[in-house]
Structure 1
């Protein structure tokens, strides 16, 4: 385990340049003291790693040093072709380049590893698009990806829920979530998220974009997504669910279904459960609960019960 971590530290320093002990400790989920011991071990092994003190200090490799310890293990080669997302390279305008790079990478693997990786790719396929959905066709995406890669400041005309606005932003990264592309960009050094399909116009400005120090796209997205879900499902409802209702709830509100499954209490009729679940709003939850039919009964809030009763009466009047 430690040998693997030492190699990973070496490769990270080669890829990212100077890194602090705190950053490395967070990366590998170990203590700062452990990182210092690892750095001492690398130095003792002849790796030219040095430390710089100060606020912007950290560990770095001597200029020009590169390790050749980058061979793939058989398991890593098997996982190689599972790391890509189907269609993403084509969306970004680099489909041909990605295919060429994949061939070159396979050619560089040990003799048996390339065939193994190709065998895995022929048996597993990743489709990130939801059922009954289609991938968004976004003509602006290749130009946006270029701006992200070259760190060019851009001006976007963006259609939000409430208005059409123009903003100058520093692009930080692109995220593909369930077949939908999102741009993460900084406004006055504060990262924000924009759905790419809502960008109506894009202009590349003359200046270089400003990237917040030590910004981590994956870490930002994970935190932002959890916060977004929490803000979205900010209201509550008390419901009774049949077994079929609980299964159906998964299709309309996965978070609510998870809460109901974990905290629901048995109630009458037999086999039903009672649970306090998160909902987005009265209007949104009305449509969701109606989809479950007689397999759900809303107990609270009264406004949701009344909204469901009104809609049910409208539906019944059509078929009378």
Structure 2
């Protein structure tokens, strides 16, 4: 929507002394003509925005400009502050400074309404710092290097063009083009070590290629699994399963009927419930679990 774009243009100009119309057009994925129309709209609204022609020129605000809070409703002021706070959580450049200034302008106390901690319980700040490195590498199109441990524990050195961070099924992943394997790959963040952002800049590849690199996920076989989880395991039921898949039984246990991927992960996932779970169906998954338990028992 144009109104959102206009406010974001003001936000950008508050943080930059000068920016060109083509740069704004590329950022918003609109034409340069549209940007100039936006500039005219802002000027007509009394915002002192001007353009400098020629080499080294661009669009800017007067140095002493202060956003007129009367232009915004109470709800719009809150939405801007909340959006900026969410940006500061992700460590967006200078968002904290702008948040402070706008909070004072709107005469509002900053409400700490959101907190995001990317690291698991008990980990140190190093894990959280990984996300800052990856985010910066994605935004600046710079290659990253790290050691990666596969699900079987094998260690390999990787060079990757990072594309996207994904949170899925209680874990963070990175999608990117692996220069070591010459193909798109999905990496589990928890298995990455010695992460480093290099100075080498890469050119963004065709977006469609990313889909070809993650098709294994689409071909994964899914099966319907029925589990009975005891009342001792209740704390995990609504955290990990959709409410429509859960039936609470009279004695306090739960019956869960849901779709799960049929692979080694499934057996290990069910084992994570310990004695709090019983597989009702399908029978072959029950047999696989029994075999796994026999292997574990034989070790002791």
- TM-score (norm. length: structure 2): 0.54
Deviation at 1:175, TM superposition (A): 6.8
Q: Give the structure 1 partner of residue 149 of structure 2.
A: 159
Change (3 A) 1:245 1:151: same
Secondary structure of residue in 2 paired with 1:81: helix
User: Aligned runs of 1:2-151 on 2, under 5 Å?
Assistant: 4-5=3-4, 7=6, 16-19=23-26, 23=29, 42=38, 45=41, 64-66=58-60, 73-75=76-78, 76-85=80-89, 102=96, 104-109=97-102, 111=104, 113=106, 115-117=108-110, 120-121=111-112, 124-128=113-117, 132-135=121-124, 137-138=126-127, 141=130, 151=141
Indicate whether 1:305 and 2:286 are aligned: yes
Indicate whether 1:239 and 2:226 are aligned: yes
Secondary structure of residue in 1 paired with 2:123: coil
Q: Give the structure 2 partner of residue 250 of structure 1.
A: 237
Distance 1:129 1:20 in 2: 27
For residues 146-185 of structure 1, the C-alpha deviation after alignment (integer angstroms, 9 at most, x for no partner) is 6556544455443333544344433456678899775554
Q: Give the structure 2 partner of residue 291 of structure 1.
A: 273
Distance 1:190 1:316 in 2: 40
Unaligned ranges ≥5, structure 1: 25-34, 48-60
For residues 228-274 of structure 1, the C-alpha deviation after alignment (integer angstroms, 9 at most, x for no partner) is 995697432431546849945537x82xx22xx42568999999657
- TM-score (norm. length: structure 1): 0.52
Unaligned ranges ≥5, structure 2: 13-19, 44-51, 70-75
Change (3 A) 1:171 1:140: same
How many pairs does the alignment contain? Answer: 262
Cα RMSD of the aligned pairs, angstroms, is 5.8
For residues 45-102 of structure 1, the C-alpha deviation after alignment (integer angstroms, 9 at most, x for no partner) is 487xxxxxxxxxxxxx9861246796675312255334433xx65xxxx9xx97xx63
Distance 1:147 1:6 in 2: 25
Deviation at 1:210, TM superposition (A): 1.8
